[in-house]
Amino acid sequence: MALSVQISLPNGKSYEQPTGLFVNNEFVQGHGERFTVIDPVSEGQIIQLQGASSDDIDGAVAAARAAFEGEWSELPSTERGVFLYKIAALIDRDRDLLAAIDAYDNGKLLAAAEGDIEESFQVFRYYAGAADKITGRTIETSPQKLAYVLQEPLGVCGQIIPWNFPLMMLAWKVAPALACGNTVVLKPAEQTPLSALYFGKLIIEAGLPPGVINIVPGLGPVAGKAISSHVGIDKVAFTGSTATGRAIMREAATNLKNITLECGGKSPCIVFDDCNFEQAVKWSHFGIMDNKGEVCTSTSRIYVHEAIYDRFLERFVQVTKENDKLGNPFSTETLQGPQVSKPQYDKILSYIEQGKSSGARLLYGGAKQSAQGYFIQPTVFVDTTEEMAIVREEIFGPVVVISKFSSTQEVLEKANNTSYGLAAAVFTEKISKAHTVARKLQAGMVWINSSGESHYGIPFGGYKSSGIGRELGQYALDAYTQSKAIHVNLSEE
């Protein structure tokens, strides 16, 4: 059976797409359930893939374990860095194709996908440079004792990535894991597996030893569960919904795996009356509508001071109308593509109906955009109350709720009244207020006078039900290593 097909992309590019699992530097046939990758623009089939079974996961784990116990973890750190630099160079070379692949099966704007690939390139370069800078320390106790600490790799790392930033989330997880000397078994989302499988070709070209990276597309309840519960896996890193994160935590208890969970959010955006008004509107809009709202950090709850509330609503709706240009992600005229899948599309529409029936005022949007494709208008609800589902629950789409506040204490109580704690944004020109409010917000990341920004050198992660641990920066190196204390008796006693 052929394990690749020719795919023609909407921008005219054509390429050879691998269709098998990538294990031990070979594309092999999966034995799990078949699943279909759908084009969210046309709702037509892009490709069918044979997913990984639990036996296939066993094989991938065995390959990763052999590689870890073989040459990879013993490889000098500078040489691991060289491999990461090679991967970065190959991503750079193929950036146009990789961006087109992600835009095709995700529905995101091609320009946005190009930004994702740029970050993927930079992430691999960053951790290539970090590979030989992972150091232990000596600890002074007494002249009779030498004590030192080694930072060692964890072993085989299972990684489960989401569909909203396909290759970028792969980079966020794979690059630091490899820099630290671990090996990887990675499951891409079943909605968007194409760029991850293509990445397997780059692994071969970069010359990585067999088994260092294994890519096993498949269904979450089968392949994902097999990874999170596998006793041969030492760590699991996951990005996705909080509900799935809880399930992974339970399954990881089989051997008390080290875990990193980056889960959902319902992030607040606080707009004070002393803000730079136009900047606040611009960034507040970007914070929820970027990537068609399919961003875990989306600032989907906007609280506006009563003194500027009406003015803010008028301007926010005006900006939303100006950006209400839905269509093919490959068109330069398009400002918003389709939602990733039919289930996600239906979920968002159901929340919009809940918002209407619960008494929230629909100020703009809320409609299906066309008969074909998973297109939903950017949607603005106002005059909401805190008990409404559209205020409490993560929608993961282009839907925002806006309400007013009168005091700092009031808005902090509302902002923190959530089970989530991923991100938050604050808009004010008063520096003392900005820092005081940022400190009091229960969130792993706070933006002052912007929204939705990240950088590969800055830690990314949340409080409460938004996850455990941090990705990116030096913090990811901590997440993929463990400390070993060595005690040496120097005395003759």
Q: Which two tokens stand for residue 465?
A: 């039900």
End-to-end CA distance of the chain: give it in Å, rounded: 69
* Side chain identity at residue 447, one-letter code: W
% of the chain with per-residue pLDDT over 70: 100
Closest listed residue to residue 476, CA positions, set 67, 195, 154 = 154
Residue 64, domain member (yes or no): yes
Residue 96 sits in which domain range? 4-263+466-484
What is the model's pLDDT at position 371?
80
What is the model's pLDDT at position 51?
96
Q: Are strands 34-38 and 258-262 parallel, antiparallel or unpaired?
A: unpaired
Residue 490, domain member (yes or no): no
Do 471 and 447 belong to one domain? no
pTM: 0.96
Active-site residue, selected from the candidate residues 69, 118, 140, 262: 262
Q: Which residues contact 80 (CB under 8 A, 6 or more apart)?
A: 72, 131, 178, 179, 181
Residue 345 pLDDT grade (very low, low, confident, very high; cuts 50, 70, 90): very high
450: domain CATH number is: 3.40.309.10
Q: 104-125, pLDDT tens digit by residue? A: 999 999 999 999 999 999 999 9
Q: 69-97, pLDDT tens digit by residue? A: 998 988 999 999 999 999 999 999 999 99
Residue 295, domain member (yes or no): yes
Do 423 and 353 belong to one domain? yes
Distance CA 430, CA 445 (A): 20
Q: Are strands 156-160 and 361-364 parallel, antiparallel or unpaired?
A: unpaired
Do 453 and 470 belong to one domain? no
What is the model's pLDDT at position 61?
98
Do 26 and 89 belong to one domain? yes
Do 82 and 63 belong to one domain? yes
Do 193 and 331 belong to one domain? no
Do 208 and 177 belong to one domain? yes
Do 258 and 272 belong to one domain? no
What is the model's pLDDT at position 54?
97
Residue 2 in this model has a pLDDT that exceeds 90: no
Residue 492, domain member (yes or no): no
Distance CA 61, CA 185 (A): 7
Residue 87, domain member (yes or no): yes
Q: 382-410, pLDDT tens digit by residue? A: 999 999 999 999 999 999 999 999 999 99
Distance CA 30, CA 57 (A): 10
Q: Are strands 21-23 and 26-28 parallel, antiparallel or unpaired?
A: antiparallel
Residue 1 in this model has a pLDDT that exceeds 60: no
Residue 493, domain member (yes or no): no
Distance CA 312, CA 305 (A): 9
Do 344 and 480 belong to one domain? no
Catalytic (active site) residue 262: yes
What is the model's pLDDT at position 74?
86
Residue 478 pLDDT grade (very low, low, confident, very high; cuts 50, 70, 90): very high
Q: What order do you get walking across the sheet with 137-142 strand by strand?
A: 137-142, 145-153, 481-489
15: domain CATH number is: 3.40.605.10
Closest listed residue to residue 320, CA positions, set 402, 393, 392 = 402
CB 469, CB 139: distance < 8 Å = no
Do 278 and 219 belong to one domain? no
Q: 279-313, pLDDT tens digit by residue? A: 999 999 999 999 999 999 999 999 999 999 999 99
Residue 56, domain member (yes or no): yes
Do 10 and 150 belong to one domain? yes
Residue 369 in this model has a pLDDT that exceeds 90: no
> 20 — alpha (psi -120 to 50), left (phi > 0) or beta?
beta
Residue 102, domain member (yes or no): yes
Do 210 and 295 belong to one domain? no
Domain count for the chain, please give it.
Answer: 2
